[in-house]
Chains A and B, each alone.
Chain A
């Protein structure tokens, strides 16, 4: 086995013959034993391309999207004071880090790609897992890929100053970006991972420029805004909770590495390190960037600015201000790449379990890329950019995200009993998942109470409508022959083959 691991690390996969595990109880035929068969499976699997650096880049690159460059103001607006807003930024980072620790335990206990999907399946059963995959694959991940490429397109378009920001060029640029990212991710996971590292470095570098520039100004004595401290702090605990909600969205993406666990080198060591290290990095960067903004701008100016980093650049950098919109481009492209990379893996993982057409879990025979799932993700994302305004869609489904996070933390607690004996390379202190469950419940309930909208019901109905597919296609496993034929032709066309997960092999 040791040899095999080494080979895999080199990107070379042995063919091997393995005995398939018997199918789980409940799916056996009429009480009799399943046929004892010997099945040869070629051990095709995703390659382990992610070292610690790539892993941290993956997380940092997806957390730092366009938000910190464009509109880091929701928090400031809600809290009312500079001091409290910085506290909220740090506090939300802490929450994200605790989430990351929980995910580190889950990811090392169940080292399979697919993230929440896997943990929900093991912890709470098939239905929550299916509903997660259903929502995530059809709406949340694809729409977030679409929206981040649209932000990219808006900034790309800003260089040409087309009057009124016509939609068509922006949508075309967005489509070009999605296809490009699809090609990169289909071509080579190594390339995609490298792209992620490079773009993460670039966006962190841009933020370092902002931080250093801010501190130069700070040293020159522009401290009037920063020193205002807690002046004007809101006294409503409810508003502060909303500020946390805003800030937590800026940290969203801390869970992304868990989607690609199988591609991570040495997960027991690297997963906890990457989850914690990257969030700490992001906390530091966010705090310093906010301080820099507030050194150069007053609170009101920051709230008024349509693109804070660009305003900052115009103030501090003078003629070099063009690097700020460029940084937003780099940041959004990197974010889109990371988003596509990981969302392809969720499709892949769900399909592998028969929750989606199995074909979507196949990987390319030579390039080891999840080609069908990538094409599926790209295709749905392209559909997403066609309608007028998809940001409303994002708002609609944002509350479901914390719903699934909360269920995932619950899974962790359940698994502590279900898999009591299992080897846990990393164990999180029990109070953290309990706290995270409570926080998740609050974050789901708070916006609904604060502003009850009929749309939340629509979103809920959509999530539940997944059951219409679950029962016939997964639970009762209705089977259509034409699917098999299509799968076969699809295999021949794209040169993709089934894969095996780490767990099956062990």
Chain B
């Protein structure tokens, strides 16, 4: 090695621990030469060997040699090839990779939770002890914070005086003064919409109050009044005997003789609530005008009340005793099989007609309307409500499996109810799950411990849940005994329990509530529940939030095999988080192996929600679907991330 070269080193300070010069190629250097060199300031010239830290010129003499140049080019080519290779791989992956299926387009009434308000009992803005529209107006922020999006109001039409019922309508286009004014109603509609919520009214087309001006005109003694046909009049089958053996639902004949016109009128309910004759074109038009009147005010849809009793047999044929009847009293409603008066196929024509009115109005105003109806009866009848003969019916009939659940119901019977409904549902139709309303005993009456499991099912099964006011705090039926079957003062209509002040915050302290406030409200109110993280109230809020998740909104569902008291189902969708919901509806600890019961179920799920009762699991636990063990009435929701298929 030539040792006369100049030493070119980096700027880095020399370091004695290394060899004298910061240059590896000079390891064997002789000290003398080095010394000499260091003491001489010499202009540089090129070393003929590369070394560490060499400068520009030295580097260029060596690096431009063939091998380094070639190596560099090869590496550059490799880098570019790898880069292009990656791009091509990505393009290929993108082309072959499966796309998610499109979720169906959903409308607001499929996305939101409905909340049924019994107006008279919800909140009194004044001091008359009667709930009113302004009370609801003042509670809208509360409802919004609950996570509900659809308010369904009990009837608020103007009523005949002193009738103790919501069904004595004397004017379909006015508000019952007990509940407020038309201005109050308009303000309520606007405030509801401002919060992104929707308002549904009851629509009662089957009958009116006997004091309705139509009835007065109809029973005009001249019998020539243009409104004569608004109601159903018939001659007795024989003198002193009604036209048919039809019974009122409150027992006794459905026909009442009217002295002014010497004819019978039909009333399937009380004698003071005569049935309208919906076969009359004038009545049909009146009904459509009523719908349009409220639609113009901004109402978002209607709940058709008593929808199975719109039309009766044209020939007024007698009904036959029912095979399944438990009564032997021929005057009792239940004695008969109501094939001529209940759920006649003609009814469906009216649903389609009203649906059409709503659709037309919706098209004109760019809105989507909701129409639903109540019906009792078998599944086929329920399913027919969705549409008959290629004509759309209502958006959904109210679905009441949980109203058939009693304390002795086992998992199997509940499972069967759910399974039958889901299996019968026509393609592209939407379910409803009714939590409660003002006509059935509250969940809590005899099976309070089922509140939470059934709330899980109501909120998380595919369909629109409809809950009843007070369900969010597990309110119980009143111990107050109703005056009679058709009076307003039914046990499930006790005033809402807002806080622990007197009257439960329903109205101010000096007022007398129209129904007594439930005893024990001090420990069972919105106020007390809100402070308790484990309360059903907070569970309710968590459920409405969970229900907003895409998978619960539009995901597929599959009931898992029912085993050992556990009802479970999965909700899943392409590309979205999947969920398993499992509730124990029995009064014993239950355990089941759900592994392999559905293709979407992974080996491990993470708990996102529990009933917050005594239980095996808490939120964020990881659990395996192969060992799900639930204490009595415990429920859980487990989730898993959608795992994309990696190619």
Task: Please give the residue numbers on chain A whose beta carbons come within 8 Å of chain B beta carbons, in ascending order.
Answer: 15, 17, 20-24, 27-30, 34-42, 44, 160-169, 172-173, 175-176, 179-180, 183, 298, 352, 354, 358, 365, 476-477, 479, 481, 484-485, 487-488, 491-501, 504
Residue B32, interface by CB 8 Å = no
B17 closest partner in A (C-beta): A477
Q: Tell me, in angstroms, the Cα distance from A107 to B212 when the chains sit together.
A: 88
Tell me the nearest residue of chain A to B95, going by C-beta.
A160
Within the complex, what minimum Cβ distance (angstroms) separates B13 from chain A? 3
Known: A162-B98, A365-B56. 15 other contacts (CB 8 A): A20-B11, A24-B13, A38-B41, A163-B98, A165-B575, A166-B644, A166-B645, A180-B83, A183-B79, A354-B12, A477-B18, A488-B51, A491-B50, A498-B11, A498-B55
Does B79 contact A166, Cβ atoms closer than 8 Å? no
Which of A36, A40, A161, A485 sits near B100, CB closer than 8 Å?
Answer: A161
Contact in complex: B644, A164 (CB < 8 Å): yes
- Contact of A172 with B86 at beta-carbon distance under 8 Å, contacts A481-B24, A487-B52 already known: yes
Q: Which residues of B contact A24 (CB under 8 A)?
A: 13
Q: Is the beta-carbon distance between B16 and A27 smaller than 8 angstroms?
A: yes
User: Which single member of B13, B55, B79, B575 contacts A42 (CB below 8 Å)?
Assistant: B55
- Chain B nearest CB from A392 CB (Å) reads 15
Closest Cβ neighbor of A500 among chain B residues: B11
Which A residue sits closest to B574, measured CB to CB?
A163
User: Which B residue sits closest to A15, measured CB to CB?
Assistant: B56
Which residues of the partner chain B approach A499 to less than 8 Å between Cβ atoms?
A: 11
Cβ-defined contact, A179 with B90, below 8 A: no
Chain B residues contacting A497 (CB-CB under 8 Å) are 54-56, 59
The residue that A40 contacts in the complex, of B20, B55, B72, B75, with Cβ under 8 A, is B55
Asked if B87 is an interface residue, CB under 8 A from chain A, the answer is yes
B93 touches A169 (CB 8 A): yes
Q: Nearest Cβ in chain B — how far from A200, in angstroms?
A: 25
> B575 — nearest CB in chain A belongs to which residue?
A164
A304 to B53, CA, bound (A): 57
Report chain A residues within 8 Å CB of B62.
Answer: 492
CB neighbours (8 Å) of B12 from chain A are: 352, 354, 358, 498
By the criterion CB–CB under 8 Å, are A27 and B100 in contact?
Answer: no
CB-based closest 4 A-B pairs:
A23-B13, A29-B16, A164-B644, A166-B644
B1 CB-CB contact with A under 8 Å = no
Q: A167-B646, A365-B60 are in contact. Are A21 and B90 (CB under 8 A)?
A: no
- Cβ-defined contact, A492 with B59, below 8 A: yes
Partner of A27, one of B13, B56, B643: B13
Contact partners of B41 in chain A: CB under 8 A: 38
B57 part of interface (Cβ distance < 8 Å): yes
The CA of A495 and the CA of B271, in the complex, are separated in Å by 105
Cα–Cα distance between A126 and B87 once the two chains are bound (Å):
43
Judge whether B8 is part of the interface by a CB distance below 8 angstroms. yes
Assess the A166–B55 pair: CB atoms within 8 A.
Answer: no
Residues of B within 8 A of A39 (CB): 7-9, 11
B93 touches A172 (CB 8 A): yes
- Measured between beta carbons, the chain A residues less than 8 angstroms from B87 are 176
Complex CA–CA separation, A21 to B83 (angstroms): 44
B27 partner residues in chain A, CB cutoff 8 A? 481
Q: What string of 1s and 0s marks CB contacts (under 8 Å) between B1-44 and chain A?
A: 00000111111111111101000100100000000001101001
Chain B interface size, as a band, is 35 or more
Q: Are A164 and B574 in contact (CB under 8 A)?
A: yes
Distance, CA A485 to CA B23, complexed state (A): 10
Q: How far apart are the CA atoms of A154 and B143 in the complex, in Å?
A: 37
| B238 sits at the interface (CB 8 A) | no
Is residue B523 contacting chain A, with contact meaning CB distance below 8 A?
no
Please state if A163 and B99 are interface contacts (CB–CB under 8 Å): yes
Complex interface: chain B residues within 8 A of A20 (CB): 9, 11, 13-14
B427 — which chain A residues lie within 8 A by C-beta? none
Known: A40-B44, A160-B94, A492-B68. A166 touches B83 (CB 8 A): no
- CB neighbours of B430 from chain A (8 A): none
Compute how far the CA of A164 lies from the CA of B44 in the bound complex, rounded to whole angstroms.
Answer: 64
Report the separation of the CA atoms of residues A495 and B86 in the bound assembly, to the nearest whole angstrom: 27
B90 & A172 in contact (Cβ 8 Å cutoff): yes
Task: Report if B97 contacts A (CB, 8 A).
Answer: yes
* A41-B11, A180-B83, A488-B54 known; A164-B100 Cβ under 8 A: yes
Beta-carbon contact of A162 and B97 below 8 Å? yes
Asked if B409 lies at the interface with its beta carbon under 8 angstroms from chain A, I say: no
Q: Mark B75-91, 1 if CB is under 8 A from A, else 0.
A: 10001001100110110
Is the CB of B71 closer than 8 A to any CB of chain A? yes
Taken together as a complex, chains A and B put the C-alpha atoms of A370 and B53 apart, in Å, by: 15
Shortest beta-carbon distance, B647 to chain A, in Å?
A: 7
Inter-chain contact B16/A34, CB cutoff 8 Å: yes
Closest to B67 in A: A492
What residues of chain A lie closer than 8 Å to B138, measured between beta carbons? none
Which residues of A lie under 8 Å from residue B51 when comparing CB positions?
488
CB <8 Å contact, B90 and A162: no
How long is the Cα–Cα vector from A485 to B59 in the complex, in angstroms? 14
The answer, yes or no, to whether B642 is at the interface (CB within 8 Å) is yes
- Is residue B424 within 8 Å, beta carbon to beta carbon, of the partner chain? no
Q: Are B10 and A479 in contact (CB under 8 A)?
A: no
**In the bound complex, do residue A23 and residue B57 qualify as a contact, i.e. CB atoms below 8 Å apart?**
no
Query: In the docked arrangement, what's the CA distance between A493 and B517, Å?
Result: 89
Nearest A residue to B643 by beta-carbon distance? A164
B15: chain A residues at CB < 8 Å are 23, 27, 477
Check if B512 is an interface residue, CB within 8 A of chain A. Answer: no
Given contacts A484-B24, A484-B52, A491-B50, contact A365 B14 (CB under 8 A): no
Are B63's CB and A495's CB within 8 A? yes
CB distance from A318 to the nearest CB of B (A): 15
Smallest CB separation, A298 vs chain B (Å)? 8
When the two chains form their complex, are residues B100 and A163 in contact, meaning their CB atoms are under 8 A apart?
yes
Chain B 620-647: CB-based contact to A (< 8 A → 1; otherwise 0): 0000000000000000000000111111
Q: Which chain A residues border B10 with CB–CB below 8 Å?
A: 41, 358, 498
Q: How far is the CA of A504 from the CA of B99 in the complex (A)?
A: 59
Cα–Cα distance between A498 and B14 once the two chains are bound (Å): 15
Q: Please measure, in the bound complex, the distance between the C-alpha atom of A65 and the C-alpha atom of B630, giving whole angstroms.
A: 47
Known contacts A20-B13, A41-B10, A481-B24; is-contact A179 B54 (Cβ 8 Å): no
Interface pairs (29), CB distance under 8 Å: A20-B11, A20-B13, A20-B14, A21-B13, A34-B13, A36-B38, A37-B38, A39-B7, A40-B8, A41-B55, A162-B93, A164-B645, A166-B97, A166-B645, A166-B646, A167-B644, A179-B83, A179-B86, A354-B12, A358-B12, A481-B27, A485-B52, A487-B52, A488-B54, A495-B60, A495-B63, A497-B56, A497-B59, A498-B11
Q: How far is the CA of A354 from the CA of B11 in the complex (A)?
A: 11
CB distance from B64 to the nearest CB of A (A): 9
Contact B16 A175 (CB under 8 A): no
**Among the listed B11, B14, B17, B98, which residue makes an inter-chain contact with A34, where contact means beta carbons less than 8 Å apart?**
B14
Task: Please determine whether A169 and B13 come into contact, CB atoms closer than 8 angstroms.
Answer: no
Cβ B50 vs Cβ A492 within 8 A: yes
> Which residues of chain B come closer than 8 Å to A354, judged between CB atoms?
12
Q: Is there contact, CB below 8 Å, between A169 and B90?
A: yes
Smallest Cβ-Cβ distance to A186: which chain B residue: B79
Residue pair B90, A493 in contact (C-beta under 8 Å): no
A39 to B, closest residue via Cβ: B9
Q: How far is the CA of A475 from the CA of B14 in the complex (A)?
A: 14
Cα A495 to Cα B55 with chains together (Å): 10
Chain B residues with Cβ below 8 Å from A494 are: 72
Q: Knowing A35-B20, A36-B38 touch, does A164 contact B11 (C-beta < 8 A)?
A: no
- How far does the Cβ of B257 sit from chain A's closest Cβ, in whole Å? 60
What's the minimum C-beta distance from A377 to chain B, rounded to whole angstroms?
A: 15
**Residues of chain A with a CB closer than 8 A to B56's CB:** 15, 42, 44, 365, 497
Max chain B C-beta neighbours (<10 A), residue from A298, A488, A494: A488
Given the interface pairs A179-B86, A485-B24, A500-B11, the reply to whether A491 lies near B63 with Cβ below 8 Å is yes
